[in-house]
């Protein structure tokens, strides 16, 4: 009986410690990358001002070229929505939430599979002479107790390659 009690207390401690630690770990996360594009802001804006434009340089199309997509609403207008479904990249949707021509294009992101989460994605453009600095980013929240993953997750390792790939494609499209 004493052994079972010790095992039970040990298991309780092993479970309780991560749950207690997670109480003190931030739930919010953000990730962004910036690239300098040798093109005027208006040229770059044409490649980020709608869901169809974003889709032309989306790195996730490379992961699954057969991804099923559906568009609702008027693309390029607030409220337009693109949904996707894929056995490889999962399922989700993004809805245009803010447009500030030619500086900011923002969407609400909803991921359903493989893990449900919600956030925002944005593309910010800042002119600097004939160069446009483009920042592509994402913000969101990880619910408790999954927020403890912040302690072990390297966002750049998890997302950096795809972000670099997408920004490289955007740069190529914009500099043509």
What is the model's pLDDT at position 103? 96
Nearest to 28 by CA among 117, 135, 124: 117
Alpha-carbon torsion angle 98, 100, 46, 133, nearest 10: -110
Q: Could you tell me if residue 6 is inside a domain?
A: no
For residue 56, the enclosing domain spans: 27-174
Residue 123, domain CATH:
3.30.530.20
CA 122 vs CA 92, 95, 96: distances in Å: 16, 11, 10
**pLDDT tens per residue, range 107-166:** 999 999 887 888 999 999 999 988 999 999 999 887 788 777 777 777 778 777 999 999
The pair phi, psi for residue 26, each rounded to 5°, is -60, 145
Rounded to whole angstroms, the Cα distance separating 122 from 139 reads 9
pTM: 0.82
Whole-number pLDDT of residue 142? 79
Residue 97 falls within a domain, yes or no? yes
Cis ω for the linkage preceding 114 (within 30 of 0) = yes
Residue 1 lies in a domain: no
Cis status, amide bond into 145, omega within 30 of 0: yes
């Amino acid at each position: 009986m004493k052994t079972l009690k010790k095992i039970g207390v040990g298991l309780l401690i092993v479970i309780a410690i991560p749950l207690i630690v997670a109480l003190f770990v931030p739930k919010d996360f953000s990730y962004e990358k910036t690239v300098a594009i040798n093109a005027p802001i208006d040229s770059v804006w044409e490649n980020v001002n709608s869901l169809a434009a974003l889709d032309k340089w989306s790195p996730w199309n490379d992961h699954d070229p057969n991804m099923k997509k559906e568009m609702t609403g008027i693309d390029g207008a607030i409220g337009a929505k693109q949904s996707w479904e894929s056995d490889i990249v999962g399922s989700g949707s993004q809805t245009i939430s803010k447009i500030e021509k030619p500086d900011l294009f923002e969407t609400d992101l909803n991921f359903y599979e493989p893990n449900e989460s919600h956030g925002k994605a944005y593309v910010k453009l800042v002119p600097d002479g004939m160069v446009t600095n483009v920042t592509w980013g994402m913000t969101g929240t990880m619910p408790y107790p999954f927020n403890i993953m912040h302690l072990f997750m390297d966002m750049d390792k998890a997302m950096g390659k795809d972000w670099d790939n997408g920004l490289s494609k955007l740069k190529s499209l914009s500099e043509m």
